[in-house]
Amino acid sequence: MKIIAGNWKMNGTRTTLSEMVSALQSVESENTVVLCVPYTMLGIDGGRISLGAQDVSRHTHGAFTGEVSASMIADTGAKYVIVGHSERRQYHNETNSIVREKAAAALANGLIPIICVGETMDEKQAGKTMAVIESGVRESVPNDVNTDIIIAYEPRWAIGAGLTPTEAEIAEAHTLIAKTLAEMGLGGTPVLYGASVKGSNAAEIMSIPNVDGVLVGGASLKPDDFIPIITSVK
């Protein structure tokens, strides 16, 4: 069983989400299906899809105009929240320590954080991929985790670019993440791969050791693209 998570980013409407929910109703699969959607689409009945948000405030409540707290997300019935997505790190200057605070806020409110780590092209070219991944995991995961979390490895240079690392590169990254999590007492934590996943490469990617599922951007927006990913693996 794998975790197939979609990240709609700033796309979609409540209508297109309802259409996705209907389209997935008849899909036979034992995989866990998650869609992380804009806040405005939370609260609808996701059917067999578990819903999640794409970001969360590190604050609990108060004078933080425009922010949405973990308790508010949980109040919609959502179960998941992405934290530290590369676009948040890039456009909103989120650091590992901010990501850790956000993940802690999610956990404190019963949400499962999907904590993203991954290297930029500059870091890759400088030979820093493994160091960035390991420090991302060590510094972005809260200390006192005693419930479910999910890690997503998203090579930042490959997102939305139609590029994917080689199988060996994905295997090396996921092996390092699994080993790091085990050293942190979090062995068995699912690790997803994300960046340019589509129906034609999903099964191959999910056959790589330590890849427990995928986090899909563009190809999660339409049932015709998303369903083949969900059904590509048992």
Q: Name the site residues for ligand 13P (rule: CB under 6 A).
A: 7, 85, 154, 159-160, 194-197, 215-219
| Shortest reach from residue 82's CB to ligand 13P, in Å | 7
- Three-class SS state of 134: helix
| Shortest reach from residue 45's CB to ligand 13P, in Å | 24
Residue at shortest CB range from ligand 13P = 217
Judged by CB, which is closer to ligand 13P: 181, or 197? Answer: 197
Judged by CB, which is closer to ligand 13P: 79, or 179? Answer: 79
Tokens of 167: 């199988």
Handedness of CA 68, 70, 75, 79 (dihedral sign): positive
| Shortest reach from residue 63's CB to ligand 13P, in Å | 30
Residue 121 CB: number of other CB atoms within 10 A?
A: 13
Could you confirm whether 59 is annotated as catalytic?
A: no
Give the active site residue among 94, 119, 154, 174: 154
**Cβ–Cβ < 8 Å for 230, 24:** yes
| Shortest reach from residue 150's CB to ligand 13P, in Å | 12
Q: How far apart are CA 23 and CA 27, in angstroms?
A: 8
Tokens of 152: 């997503």
Judged by CB, which is closer to ligand 13P: 56, or 63? Answer: 56
Tokens of 21: 């929910």
**Cβ–Cβ < 8 Å for 190, 153:** no
Give the active site residue among 30, 85, 94, 174: 85
| Shortest reach from residue 142's CB to ligand 13P, in Å | 21
**DSSP per residue over 167-213, as a string?**
HHHHHHHHHHHHHHHHHTT-TT--EEEESS--TTTHHHHHTSTT--E
Q: b/e string for 124-136 if b means 16 or more Cβ within 10 A?
A: beeeebeebbbeb
Q: By C-alpha distance, which of 24, 29, 32, 26 is closest to 223?
A: 24
Judged by CB, which is closer to ligand 13P: 71, or 123? Answer: 123
Could you confirm whether 154 is annotated as catalytic?
A: yes
Judged by CB, which is closer to ligand 13P: 87, or 101? Answer: 87
Please give the biggest Cα pair distance in the chain.
Answer: 47
Q: Which amino acids are annotated catalytic? A: 85, 154
